[in-house]
Amino acid sequence: MNGYDSSLGDPQKFDPAAAKQLLQKAGVTAADLSKFKLLTRDTTGNKTVNQFISQQWQDNLGANIAVDVVDSKTVTSRIRKGQFDIYGPDGWGADYPDQQDWFDIFTSAACHSLNWGCVNMPGYDALVQKADSTKSDSDRNPLYKQAQKQLIDTANVGFIYQQAEYNLIRPYVQNLTITGIDDQYIPGDLYYHDVFISKH
């Protein structure tokens, strides 16, 4: 993906000892954290992921954060109104193969739209807006890099996992081109007009 920056390392790596130190420094106890609820949709996948996350918080931080499992329609209504403590998992798939597609999600203008927590980071919006309106990659990439670093360093979002998908394709399905911006459940849909079935 254009703009991927491996030099940022792994700032959100799993480190319970460091997390405990930061919480202690901030004066936050496990009991304080246990007052929060983790809102999730009532799908098997979401429940499984959030039960695991909740158990990890319990095992590693001593925080007993309840998982609030609710039907999807109610979850959508609540996140659009900001009626939650913690929400997830949520995700984003590329609409087009450019880093720009990932940064507008976290601007203050996206509050209650995609920026569910209404995160407002000083300077972030200006960086993204300037990068969005800059044509040259050599000029816009450093701006997006700064925005990416700010997003990761402030930890307003926890990047937990990246989904992978495997597709089995019969050898007689010819000319199927799979891209990173295909529909999640329809591999190669961007170029279906080029696909044909060979004699078999």
Which of 38, 71, 90 marks a domain boundary? 90
Q: Number of structural domains, the chain?
A: 3
Phi, psi (degrees; rounded to nearest 5) at 67? -95, 120
Q: Is residue 44 part of a domain?
A: yes
Residue 137 and residue 114 share a domain: yes
Quick check: 186 pLDDT over 70? yes
Torsion sign (Cα): 38, 40, 42, 47: negative
> What pLDDT was estimated at residue 96?
79
> What pLDDT was estimated at residue 92?
78
By DSSP bridging, strand 173-174 and strand 196-197 are: antiparallel
Containing domain of residue 182, as a range? 164-200
Residue 57 and residue 123 share a domain: no
pLDDT digits (tens, 9 = 90+) for 38-69: 999 999 999 999 999 999 999 999 999 999 99
Q: Is residue 81 part of a domain?
A: yes
Q: Is residue 105 part of a domain?
A: yes
Contacts of residue 194, defined as CB under 8 A and 6 or more positions apart, other chains included, come to 175, 176, 177
pLDDT digits (tens, 9 = 90+) for 138-176: 999 999 999 988 888 887 777 777 777 788 899 999 999
Q: Is residue 1 part of a domain?
A: no
Residue 138 and residue 84 share a domain: no
